[in-house]
Chains A and B, each alone.
Chain A
Amino acid sequence: MSLRSYIITRILMTIPMLLVLVTLVFFILRVMPGDPVLAMMRPGTPKAYLNELRHEMGLDKPIMVQYVDYLWDLARGRLGTSLAPVRGRPVAKDLWAKFPATLELSLTSFLITIIVGVSTGAYAAYKRRSAADYTFRLYSIIIYAIPVFWLGLMFQLIFGVYLHWLPVAGRIDDLALAPKTITGMYLLDSVLTGNWPSFVNAAKHLILPSVTLGLYLSGIFTRLTRSNMLNSLRQDFVTAARARGISENRVVVRHALKNAFIPILTMMGLQFALLLAGAVLTESTFSWPGLGRFLVERIGYRDFPSIQGTVAFFAILVAVVSLLVDILYAYLDPRIRY
């Protein structure tokens, strides 16, 4: 089987997963609470208004019809229309506008997670039972127990309020500074347009949120890397490489770590999902105008279509990421193509 046909198969396999995920969203949000309109609206809302909302959202139709409508809408990229603050505004439009901010934050954070987690984990495994090993293991347990939003608040306090080094909220000081939109990710856009003042400003805003979110997950990667690295350092090919007189650095990085990374990669999809969850909290902490903050804001407006739409969007995102991870895996591991 060639790499290309593997990828095509894998894309086809994503479809049932996606279907299950969006179905799950539908049933958990629409069916479990009974009547979403009643659940969301304050007691004492006039009946006529509730009925109007039900009709507008199609909740007066039989449940299977609603389900099929929902799937059909999703397939066409429609996620319903908002009830508030702007009634009738397509949810998908808002989500697309907020997505680049979340993507920018997540990608930067994930990079920090991997750099911190993999290097500490690999070092801990290599120097097993040393002081560094115990320190990094302790770090991995403690950092996981620290709530990500509290970590963010502490960073804001230290680096923003006391030291005045970095801004504590938003993506950029002034919207006039924002680069021309190409991808919607400020860092990338400002590089593409060569807009350096905007790059510096956006980067300063990005540091605290991405370090916060990045460190939050790094503990998991420290552990994952450490245990996989211990395992791969025990492998015969590592001893065999040493027995051929290959330098220790090369043995550890090119052989042991590279092999340890393969199982880590397979779990990356799950970790990225965790990162997205952490992003919701981080965005709220740093007033980062992404999907997570949007979700929380719309919960405040009791805007049911936006809530359902955002959660469904996250479901699609999770499916896409797991697809990408599998493709990367196939690319890196020669064994799975055959």
Chain B
Amino acid sequence: MDERKQSGNGIPLLQLRDLVVEYYTRSGVVRAVDSVDLDIYKGEVVGLVGESGCGKSTLGMALLRLVRSPGKITSGKILFKGKDILTLSENAMRDLRGPEISMIFQDPMTSLDPLQRIDDHFVESIRAHDKHISKEDAIKRAAELFDLLGIAPDRLQDYPHQLSGGMRQRVMIGLALALDADLIVADEPTTSLDVLVEAQFLDLLKDLRRRYNMTLILITHNIGIVAELADRVAVMYAGEIVELGDAGPLFAEPLHPYTDALLGSVPNIKLDEELKIMGGQPPDLLDPPAGCRFHPRCPYAMDRCREEEPPWQEIQPGHWAACWLYAEGKRETLHG
């Protein structure tokens, strides 16, 4: 919290305002991201969690204006350093991608061009944004980064298929760092890694974060890595953010019944608690339920939940949720 105040003058690095992303499919319009508001401050790590298909990856792609067809950003604003990037020209947007906002993808196996050597990835990216840097200097920069990432610099000449999964993911980070991105969006960066490699990778992220005061949006369904890395957490359900707060309080005392259920379904070997499986399926976004979208699966559902959308309220300082349970100040905690 205090870190934020020091660095950002209170102005967020990234502000999402009423962002809507829709997919135009044969069967109808799917609203994958529905009126999302979110602020990201410099130097913080924000975890964006939710089940697969809840729209979190689409949201990540929207930040770079790279939502794939038939998806489209239909309304809202994405203010980066105070400027709305949705109004930028395609060329200006290209200058932004990389040096300002960078992205790390889910599958490092497929995120590197199989026909391009690793060093060419670096040279290409660096020179795409600054033509004055010579090829040799770009390679030198890549070698320095490799050192930092713990990869032998002679692997630079390899093709992607010659590297292990963990190495490739580190190369992806390296590519983001090579351009000095202010904001890194990591979409499920550890999903395809095995457990040991994942742990190493998380250590690396923590280390880099300390070193570079990195701002990171961590999109994942893995609550464990969010708990380990994130300062704040946003929980998404069916295209909407249903809860937002600092990681500690949110994990200790979730407000939204969905967050509660999500945390309850995480296996935890330390606590001898019974694992709760969430019933039901996420809703069909072609035809989302009226009122609160979670009500068909919610153990606390009331009549009102079926009819009216719950308001987005700050229930405790810095801890927001959209749930009727807290309307009119009846409750302050879920289990209290």
Contact = CB atoms under 8 A, between A and B. Distances in A.
Interface of A: 128, 234-237, 239-248, 250, 255, 258-259, 262, 332-335, 338
Interface stretch (B25-33, B34-42, B101-109): B101-109
Contacts of A335: 114, 159, 161
A259 B97 contact: no
Contact of A237 (B95, B102, B113, B161): B113
B114 A259 contact: yes
B50 interface: no
Interface stretch (B72-80, B121-129, B275-283): B121-129
A7 to B, nearest CB: 19
Nearest to B122: A244
B105 A250 contact: no
Contacts of A237: 110-114
Given A245-B98, A255-B116, A259-B115, A236 B107 contact: yes
Contact of A334 (B95, B105, B161, B175): B161
6 contacts: A236-B106, A237-B113, A245-B95, A248-B90, A334-B114, A335-B159
B99 interface: yes
A68 to B, nearest CB: 46
A239 B58 CA distance: 13
Contacts of A128: 69
Contacts of B114: 237, 259, 334-335
A244 B125 contact: yes
A243 B110 contact: no
Nearest to B109: A236
Contacts of B107: 236
A334 B128 contact: no
Contact of A243 (B102, B106, B116, B124): B102
A245 B96 contact: yes
Contacts of B90: 248
A247 B128 contact: yes
B30 to A, nearest CB: 18
B24 to A, nearest CB: 11
A128 B70 CA distance: 11
A255 B160 CA distance: 14
Contacts of B175: 244
